Chains A and B, each alone.
Chain A
Amino acid sequence: MSPALNPGAAPLSRRAVGDAVDRVRGTFTFAVDRRIEGTLHAVAVRSVAPHGRITSIDAADALAVPGVVAVIDGSHVAADDGISPWYGENRADQPVLAIGKVRYVGEPVALVIADSRATAEAAAAQVWVDIEELPHVVDPVLAGAPDAPQLHDEWPNNDSGTWTLVHGDAERAMATAAHVHTATYTSPAQNHVPMEPHSATGAWLPDGSLEVWTGTQSPYVVRQRLATMFRLDPDRVRVRGDSLGGAFGSKIDLRLEGLVALASRAVGAPVRMELRRDEVFQSASKHAATVTMTTGVDEDGLLVARIIDIVWNSGAYALQTPRSSRTGMIRSPGPYRIPHVLARSVARYTNTVPTGPFRGAMTGQVCWAHESAADEIAAELGVDPVEWRRRNLLRDGDAFATGDVMHEMHYVDLLTAVDDALTADAPPTSSTRTRTRRRGRGVAAVLKTTRTPTRSEAQVQVDAEGQVAVRTSAVEMGQGAAASLAEMAARRLDMPAEDVSVSWPDTGWTPFDQTTSSSRTTFATGLAVERAASDLRACIAQQVAQPWGITPDQVVHRDGCVSSPGDPAQRMTYADVVRSSGAGELVGTGRYETPPGAGRLDPETSQGNVSVHFHQGVVGVEVEVDTETGRVHVLRAHGATYAGRLIDAERARKQIEGGMLFGLGQAVMEETLYEAGQMINPNLSDYQIPSLLDVPLTSSTVLSDADPDAEPHGIGESTVPPMAPAVANAVHDAVGVRIRDLPVTAEKVLRALREKQADDRKN
């Protein structure tokens, strides 16, 4: 047993507004910078086979390396009565270390624990793992074939989630459509590429409880998983978080926490792990997907029916796929008024890196389909694609494919804003346009649901020094969540946001929050913080009202002080109020929870109230295509979203514009490639993300609701999914070729151009 990592300490906190200075100077502390004295280091030995049975693991040579303390593998885990090694959100199909079988290249097979990372790394290369290879499958469509290799005995047909959505009678309505369009769109596995790699430190305390420091987006989910895995009461697990250097979904649910807890349990000391870049690539992936979409429209181009078939690649383990594949399916009809919709979704296990949420989760894949299809349909009808969307986009009172009657719909305004921005600028000068360079414009729209049901709790407190602290388990990962939460509390307390500190998550101290994902923090955690701050405000007013002989609601709050309206002598700072109260601090609590029943859907038809509100985004881009090379240059991008009640315009713009840059890489260059069951580009030279030099001119529109009681809406993802189809639509506008297979690489565009030229010559 080891000493507490930081016994009894209150959660760490810091001023949230203005932390950019530290980020720029390099003095900001990220999770990966966290060092705890006396820790040992673990490195995973990973499978080099995509699928196989482990026949032996020989750690003798590794154990002989000076500095190595222990080597543990799945057999130790399976033999330990104190451990339930299998985990997952919906089905416990993933072992913390491979037990008996490996299912993808990179799967952790053993852990080497040593006094330094370098020693552990060197020794890991000397753990000899014998694997009897089994046939493998990486393509989710092939994984559904009757004779396909089976990954999990308990889950036949490699099925990791099957769902349907039935709204009206799509098959019958399709037969009546004046015009039917059908096409298949594919998108590949991609990596989140957070700049900061994953890291975690775990320790067992003398009282048998478990403490983990980790770079996670979901401290309470991690706590629950660890409690289940180590058969502890959740209160006996303390998960402490830091700020993250990017996550994008890759740091949700259990990542390294199970491994460091396991290692620490084996050696009786704190153990730290940090991933190399290739291991980051091997730890989480976006779901590859194939979407076939058949759409019927009437004579006026109005949507009549849509039938959608989706196959997701969940990778070797399901994690959240059984739930999230349904979420993706529900968003697949797009933000349109369609009376009849039938969607069928199946997710399949394959011998590839396990998948997880990915900024714009499960939406990029389906948005790629419905927004490419939108332009194709408009072209076939001879209608301008912006006009076609305007006719069909959801408006207030329309029914969505789940039967939800829509409210706060702003699609038409968002589309108009984007269209105006693209056309308002002076047309490009002709000097940059040559015979081989063609320009084009494209737009795309997206609808995303937010996590429903959901729950967040918050505390806001003021101490005798007048220090105001927000305590939540929300995670700051570069999105500015901490600053927004500080601002929301400060406004309720009528004080400067600069004077409010915000906690890091610490399940030992900070209240429950579901996760920092799904663009839910400003909305759900933010509302909880506002309620906590209002509660504190009322508590402060209560303290002074009676002595001053007024009612609490007559108390005036201003600049961190309270006063009595009639009597200027009656004025106290918040600190004075705390001191005179006799308590060490005054605490307000708040909680946000979606209404009962929200998010409950029919199991067969997926009809019901799917989301408390809908994330709405529209993106427009202008591209230049080199007709001799196929090179697509995105010149500018305009994003628009609806923010509900706006908390901070600048941060909102950064999310919108940053989202487009994140989407740009997925649109034109990002793809993890497999050969013989092995990822062949798990590094940032072969797998590239846009660099600063690739950034187009970006601009944005944020629509909002001025009503102070309106709810804030999430905006962190709304411009990610539409980026790829907007680019493909712009490429089509420029040179007349349609790419249906992401990413839109130069080589694909050139091939399509050559085919088109050959066809044009024939005709």
Chain B
Amino acid sequence: MRPFRYHRPGTVAEAAQLIADLGEDGAILAGGTSLMTLARLGLAEPQHVVGLAGVPELCGIEGNSGDGITLGAMATLRQVETIPPVRRLAPGLAEAAHQVATVRIRNQATVGGTLVHADPSQDLPPMLMVYDAVARLTGPTRTREVPVAELFVDFFETVVDPDEILTSVHLPPASLGVIAGYLKFLPRTQDDYATISVAAGLTVVDGCIDTARIAVAGGGSTPQRCREAESALVGGGTDVAGLAAAADLVPEALDPVSDARGSGDYKREMARISTRRLLQRLVSESAT
């Protein structure tokens, strides 16, 4: 690994300034679980690294049913998994966080790092899409908000500019009423990346599906919302046939790569099976 200079700003403004000044030579470091791995493999060779660990504004998780939930960019995945407001108000997100790798990784990996790293098989992004989450970005001249569903461009590529810092992710209060869940399909080891995984959220009113969100990880170059399947659910009942028909629409939305975790065809089929199983589970949860 090539040696680099390490900078430790204390505020977002300082960090933003540093990033702007360093330009292409600099890289932001959050938990380092991805960046340091890439550096060790020679796939990233930053000369300057700007560590965000000393920026208090970026830490912490806050939330209540009135305001929604705000996850600081430096909140760890272990915090997302365990902190009471998330578990109570957005249990689907805690469930997805619980599925990431091992406790050791979750203690280190952060919300901001997960989103900007943009591996299409990661667990948090599809679940954040289900909760209509919005990312807040701070650049040298402006701050902006981008829905997580619009954040990803390609393998390991997002709309976040190199001089922008992702400061937080917000789950709006309206999204917190859904019954959400996560199904990570792991045919090899239990701490693997997903072969395919599905996040879904439903609201059910009088036996009828009122809103639906379905997002899939591992199904292509980015995590994807499956809007056709969602539309097929809305307005329908909660019978198995209806859920299965919606799940049948998921594979068409996907273009997974064939790799050591399975062929593209297998992943598509597993997305269908997983979606149907997850929807059935959510419907049965909604009934209790």
Contacts and interface: CB of A to CB of B under 8 A. Distances in A.
Interface of A: 118, 121-122, 125, 628-631, 668-669, 671, 673, 680-681, 685-691, 693-694, 745-747, 750
Interface string B18-53: 000000000000000000000000100000000000
B92 to A, nearest CB: 22
Given A673-B260, A750-B266, A691 B187 contact: no
Given A669-B188, A688-B188, A125 B42 contact: yes
Nearest to B2: A122
B266 A118 contact: no
What 3 A-B pairs come out closest when comparing CB atoms?
A746-B187, A693-B190, A686-B260
Given A629-B273, A686-B260, A118 B187 contact: no
B267 to A, nearest CB: 9
Interface string B260-271: 101100100110
Contact of A747 (B102, B187, B190): B187
30 contacts: A118-B1, A118-B3, A122-B2, A125-B42, A629-B185, A629-B273, A631-B185, A668-B188, A669-B189, A671-B260, A673-B260, A680-B260, A681-B260, A685-B192, A685-B193, A686-B259, A688-B188, A688-B189, A689-B189, A690-B189, A691-B102, A691-B191, A693-B189, A745-B187, A746-B187, A746-B262, A747-B187, A747-B262, A747-B263, A747-B266
Residue from B1, B193, B260, B269 whose CB has the most chain A CB atoms within 10 Å: B260
Nearest to B45: A122
Given A681-B260, A686-B259, A687-B260, A693 B191 contact: yes
A746 B102 CA distance: 23
Contacts of B189: 669, 688-691, 693-694
Contacts of A121: 1, 42
A624 to B, nearest CB: 13
A605 B261 CA distance: 44
A628 B272 CA distance: 10
A691 B190 contact: yes
A47 B190 CA distance: 35
Nearest to B190: A693
Contacts of B3: 118
B187 A629 contact: yes
Contacts, number: 52
B190 A118 contact: no
A750 B272 CA distance: 14
Contacts of A669: 188-189
A631 B187 contact: yes
Contacts of A687: 260
Interface in B169-196: 185, 187-193
Residue from A118, A693, A746 whose CB has the most chain B CB atoms within 10 Å: A746
A690 B186 CA distance: 12
Contacts of B262: 745-747
A685 B2 CA distance: 23
Interface in B238-288: 259-260, 262-263, 266, 269-270, 273
Contacts of A671: 260
A668 B3 CA distance: 40
Contact of A630 (B42, B102, B187): B187
Given A125-B42, A691-B191, A628 B260 contact: no
Contacts of A686: 259-260
Nearest to A695: B190
Nearest to B267: A747
A140 B175 CA distance: 57
A661 to B, nearest CB: 12
A695 to B, nearest CB: 10
B38 to A, nearest CB: 12
A106 to B, nearest CB: 15
A377 B190 CA distance: 35
B190 A629 contact: no
Contacts of B187: 629-631, 745-747
Given A691-B189, A694-B189, 15 more contacts: A121-B1, A122-B2, A125-B42, A631-B185, A668-B188, A673-B260, A680-B260, A685-B193, A688-B188, A689-B189, A693-B190, A693-B191, A745-B187, A745-B188, A750-B269
B272 to A, nearest CB: 10
Given A125-B42, A747-B266, A628 B273 contact: yes
Contacts of B259: 686
Contacts of B270: 629
Nearest to A687: B260
Contacts of B188: 668-669, 688, 745
Nearest to A743: B188
A305 B190 CA distance: 43
Contact of A118 (B2, B102, B273): B2
Contact of A688 (B192, B266, B269): B192
Residue from B42, B188, B262, B270 whose CB has the most chain A CB atoms within 10 Å: B188
A80 B266 CA distance: 55
Nearest to B263: A747
Contacts of A629: 185, 187, 270, 273
A91 B102 CA distance: 46
A749 to B, nearest CB: 9
A690 B189 CA distance: 6
A736 to B, nearest CB: 20
A200 to B, nearest CB: 21
Contacts of A694: 189-190
A747 B266 CA distance: 7
A747 B196 CA distance: 13
B259 to A, nearest CB: 7
Contacts of A746: 187, 262
A568 B190 CA distance: 64
